[in-house]
Amino acid sequence: MKPLAGVRVLELARILAGPWAGQMLADLGADVIKVERRGAGDDTRAWGPPFVEGADGAPLAAAYYHSCNRGKRSILADFESAEDIARIKALAADADILIENFKVGGLARYGLDWPALRALNPRLIYCSITGFGQTGPYAARAGYDYLVQAMGGLMAITGEPGREPQRVGVAVADLFTGVYTAGAALAALHRRAETGEGGHVDMALLDVMTGVLANQAMNLFVSGQSPGLTGNSHPNVVPYQPFATADGLVIVATGNDRQYQRLCGVLGLPELADDPRFLTNAGRVANRDVLVALLAARTATMARDTLLAALEAQGVPAGPINSVAEAFADPQVVARGMRVELAAPHVAGGRLPQLRGPILLDGEAMVADRPPPALGQDDADWQWR
């Protein structure tokens, strides 16, 4: 039995952050009912191509939608319909967790806001996800991942010096917010076991984005200097970056002095291991340009795979820069089973590939066995099971 078996989650969320939290809870065994607007449903159903091909050859929802809605049931609601609002309230009355990402106050007009549903179900854990939170001068604004990556400082440290800042290639503000929402909901669930009372989780993409700046935030707090663009080098560790070889790039990520010394041995540069300028990481950071140039001159003469094999043999962290396709063909990724396939009779071939969640519990991968639902597929059977 999965750890969240018997936990009921009502998802009034669309796009990514809320659905990602709902999918994480579904993977852990929760019964998740996703409420979608009548008509088009979740916006991401149309966010393609590519689209998943149906058993009849017609396109189903976009791959994007299928990335974050595994394990759920789908029912439909017109929020202007008293009957549909009554159904949602009936589900909320017996839910453990509710996830919503409407604008601040957006659900109050329907009687689905936190104060109204708390009165209906005092044990409910109500998770609100917005761009900027329930309070503060930006609370009423709409927030999107791209905007929040920019406003939250991440883009200012992502990209090469002298060039335009870059966003990260996946919606990290949304994804982190989904993970934090799931964690907060489970913490509130644990507290409820002691107090009998639910609670209101207020999650903001901007809070999360600034909250995961980690060492870069501390670099600012301690030094007073705002971090900037450093490309693929690390602001605090050297050498920790790509190096060109005779036939491709490798990433070298030395995390301590011993690894650096072994790197010098592999490269046939023992004099750099003993050079007083480079004995400590602080010295290597201070003399970054000189050291990197000396190391790069040597790696440029070596074959990529030969260098990688030699570094692995000496315990120096290093690896190739894989494409997404190469990453999923990597033997380690294959061995860990990060790609799974779920039975899906409505999909061409009867199987739907999925990216499993990364949680293993007692050796069991925590991944729901039900594929993302077709729009409204459970509308006739909307009660909790």
Name the 3-class secondary structure at 122. Answer: coil
Q: Strand 31-37 to strand 72-77: parallel, antiparallel, or no bridges (unpaired)?
A: parallel
Q: What is the pLDDT of residue 66?
A: 97
Catalytic residue chosen out of the listed positions 43, 174, 379, 381: 174
Spatial contact of 339 and 358, defined as CB atoms under 8 Å apart: no
Q: What is the pLDDT of residue 161?
A: 94
Q: How far apart are CA 37 and CA 78, in angstroms?
A: 6
- Write down the residue that tokens 């094999």 correspond to: 309
Is 330 known to be catalytic? Answer: no
Q: What is the pLDDT of residue 382?
A: 87
Q: Which two tokens stand for residue 51?
A: 């689209």
DSSP string, 49-107: SSEEEBTTSSEEEEHHHHTS-TTEEEEEE-TT-HHHHHHHHHHHHT-SEEEE-PPTTTT
Per-residue pLDDT tens listing for the chain (385 residues) = 999 999 999 999 999 999 999 999 999 999 999 999 999 899 999 999 999 999 999 999 999 999 999 999 999 999 999 999 999 999 999 999 999 999 999 999 999 999 999 999 999 999 999 999 999 999 999 999 999 999 999 999 999 999 999 999 999 999 999 999 999 999 999 999 999 999 999 999 999 999 999 999 999 999 999 999 999 999 999 999 999 999 999 999 999 999 999 999 999 999 999 999 999 999 999 999 999 999 999 999 999 999 999 999 999 999 999 999 999 999 999 999 999 999 999 999 999 999 999 999 999 999 999 999 999 999 998 889 7
Q: How far apart are CA 328 and CA 313, in angstroms?
A: 24
Name the 3-class secondary structure at 199. Answer: strand
Q: How far apart are CA 243 and CA 326, in angstroms?
A: 19
Q: How far apart are CA 118 and CA 210, in angstroms?
A: 30
Q: What is the pLDDT of residue 136?
A: 97
Q: What is the pLDDT of residue 292?
A: 97
Q: Strand 31-37 to strand 8-12: parallel, antiparallel, or no bridges (unpaired)?
A: parallel
CB under 8 Å to 76, separation ≥6 — which residues? 35, 36, 37, 38, 41, 84, 375, 376, 379
